Structure 1
Amino acid sequence: MTDTPVFPDLKGASVFITGGGSGIGASLTEGFLRQGAKVAFVGRSDASAFAARMKDETGSAPLFIRCDITDTAALQAAVAQAAEAHGPVTVLVNNAANDQRHATLDVDEAFWDRSMAINLRAYFFACQAVIPQMQAAGGGAIVNFSSISYMMGNAGYPAYVSANAGITGMTRGLAREFGPDRIRVNALAPGWVLTDKQMEKWATPEALAAHLDRQCLKEHLVPQDVVDATLFLASQASRMMTGQCMAVDGGVVVSG
């Protein structure tokens, strides 16, 4: 972890992260732990070793709950378990996603439904599960991970692109509905973050060079860039920001 700003209001906060045991999600878990937050995270794969390592490295053990986020009842139960352990969830980070590449003409109904279940439906029901807790606590912050892929009009994964456009729309609707309860809901749209998965699957020298050419800032994104933005959106440093989609992409897309 590189040096990062300290957000005092995150100390002791009850944070729930989906997909918090690997990739960008693991960096998010570590980032919140280093702020002094009480972190619970879910993942489909066993992340017990990662949780133990976080305890050794940060001094705080995250609560790992094994859960398939497409199982809505299990996801709701995980949120309840996190609240029982750490108090009402006041920060939700919907991070888990699957950007599997696919061709439009190959998509069948089962694939489409599965993609929506992972990339959009689980986001909604995680929000639904934490909102009553945030209302009871007097407010909270939700950060929904979107993607610049739909802003760029990328081909090669139409179900994923559709879901991410939906995430931004959902974010804006929830921000309007629950703003009176002091619940802020924002979307964060990363650019191409070079995780191990991205490097293994798609980051050819040609693809990396082409994408860097699109960026205003000529450095590749790393997970810490996304962690810092998420901490900002989760904290009172962004207390009057809601219903926004903030791109962290080195300047590929623009809004406004």
Structure 2
Amino acid sequence: MGGDTAVKARTVFGVLRLSAAAICLVALIHRLAWGLASNTIASQNFFAYLTNQSNIAFVVLLTIAGILALRTAQDPRWLTVALALVLTWTITAGIVFAILVWQAGIRGIRIDVPWSDQVLHFWLPACTVAAWALAPGHRSVPWRVIPASLIYPVLWGIATLIRGPIIGWYPYYFLDPRQVSGPSEFVVSSAIALGTFAIVATMLVLISRMPLPPMLRQPPVEEASEAAPEPVRERVGQT
């Protein structure tokens, strides 16, 4: 009975993943159209934002994850790791965005937040993390994901610092030398951002290692594959 429930739950989560990918894609398209309508240099640099880059990757991975959930009993290890990395980036981008909007409000600066920004920065990452703990067939995330999650933000930051002076624009104020008090503020802000990435990655690793409710657990692999010449767990692990 528990195995049948797990299979049904796996199918439901597959559909939910595909739905989330579709919602994310629609939100990205709306955000692009909304930004282009404003005729600002920020809108012309839509693909330079870490949030948008990571959400594009999110759409691709959720689509793959949804298809695999409908066809297989377990996610391959690489997919679990990739989802953990992309979720780290999207969640942290949402936290940073929320702080920027809050600070702007305190200073009396108006920042318009369309529904697509709310979906990309807040609702979609929150719902995905909630599902992360309950998704049947998910794998535990290795601890090496934490340092690995910092590689992309660091490379993105370096590329942004090189590109910024050339076009005279930065996606976030704390990267712009004209808007910070000096090198110390830049270093502190960057360190806080990287620390947030590491904290979010750590939380995702811990969540992935939480035991599933009994009704969502897959039947023991050894029992389900007694007649198979090769254990299913090993095949999945090599994917």
Given the two structures, how large is their TM-score scaled by the length of structure 1? 0.33
Structure whose CA Rg is larger? 2
Q: Which has the higher helix share?
A: 2
Given the two structures, how large is their TM-score scaled by the length of structure 2? 0.34
Q: Which has the higher strand share?
A: 1
| Structure possessing the higher relative contact order (Cα contacts under 8 Å, 6 or more residues apart) | 2
